[in-house]
Amino acid sequence: MVQTILFSLADALVLIGVSLITIGVYGMIRLPNLYTQLHAASKAAVLGVIPTLLAAIVTLEPAVVFHALLIGALLLITTPVASHAIARAAFLRGERPGLPDDGDRA
Q: Is the pLDDT of residue 105 over 60?
A: no
Could you read off the pLDDT of 22-37 as tens digits, one per residue? 999 999 999 988 999 9
pTM, full prediction: 0.81
Could you read off the pLDDT of 1-13 as tens digits, one per residue? 888 999 999 999 9
| pLDDT at 100 (0 to 100) | 59
Q: What does the chain look like in DSSP terms, one character per residue?
A: -HHHHHHHHHHHHHHHHHHHHHHHHHHHHHSSSHHHHHHHHHHHHHHHHHHHHHHHHTT--HHHHHHHHHHHHHHHHHHHHHHHHHHHHHHHTT---S----S---
pLDDT band at residue 106 using 50, 70 and 90 as cut-offs: very low
